Amino acid sequence: GAGVSQSPSNKVTEKGKDVELRCDPISGHTALYWYRQRLGQGLEFLIYFQGNSAPDKSGLPSDRFSAERTGESVSTLTIQRTQQEDSAVYLCASSYASDTQYFGPGTRLTVL
Amino acid sequence: SQQGEEDPQALSIQEGENATMNCSYKTSINNLQWYRQNSGRGLVHLILIRSNEREKHSGRLRVTLDTSKKSSSLLITASRAADTASYFCATDAGANNLFFGTGTRLTVIP
């Protein structure tokens, strides 16, 4: 595809449920990033993939958050036992090497 | 915090005027990037300036970088209503992630 895509675009879930967010990076981009943006705030780094491995998981806020990447392509961010404070827009970005990052449209997660 | 801080937080101008947004940061960087975010949409990369560059142009955009002051500015010339958006600076300190500020909300009045 021409750009980074994410699905779903919107997700409303009940507190305590698990959610999976998907990111399809730009073809050929080796690096993939997940960020979280709470309302009115800047982006918060979550995790970074180089290929299929994640050398930097330092931003994951708790053990309820996990992510994987397969085939050096699609990535899935999973949030278990969602809490209301998880409500945010989750943005995925990809880049070739560690240069300019290209962002997807984001997934807006609302935890009721 | 390594986050960039944008100034002003909000800016409202008439169409045709120039808009200037500033960004300050705290640590040494490899590069600094500016992004635009239209309401309800993802971020769009505008321009990247490396730490050894002082000024860069792209269309109606002009970015300056002063590493001695740890600051950058984004100038949008001859603004248009379509430029209405939030603008974020992001610093890349070489740790494979970007640190974003809270952004400047620009409103261009037709």
List the single residue in B with minimal CA-CA distance to A38: B102
Residues of B within 8 A of A24 (CB-CB) are none
pLDDT band at residue B92 under the 50/70/90 scheme: confident
Measured in whole angstroms, the distance separating CA B20 from the mean position of its chain's CA atoms is 9
Complete edge-to-edge strand list for the sheet that includes strand B61-66: B5-7, B19-24, B71-76, B61-66, B55-58
Per residue in B11-60, pLDDT tens?
999 999 999 999 999 888 888 889 887 765 567 788 989 899 999 999 99
Q: Which of B44, B97, B101 sits opposite A56 (nearest CB)?
A: B97
Q: Which of A50, A55, A102 sits opposite B45 (nearest CB)?
A: A102
pLDDT at B31: 86
Residue A70, judged by CB atoms within 10 A of its CB (0-12, 13-18, 19+), counts as exposed
Residue B102 has pLDDT above 90, yes or no: no
Q: Per this entry, what is the length of chain A?
A: 112
Distance (Å, whole) CA B36 – CA B41: 10
Give me the average pLDDT of each 10-residue run along chain A (112 residues).
88 97 94 84 80 82 94 95 95 78 88 96
List the single residue in B with minimal CA-CA distance to A97: B96
Task: State chain B's mean pLDDT as an integer.
Answer: 87
Q: What is the DSSP letter of A41?
A: S
pLDDT band at residue B2 under the 50/70/90 scheme: very low
Structure-token match 């610093």, residue found: B91
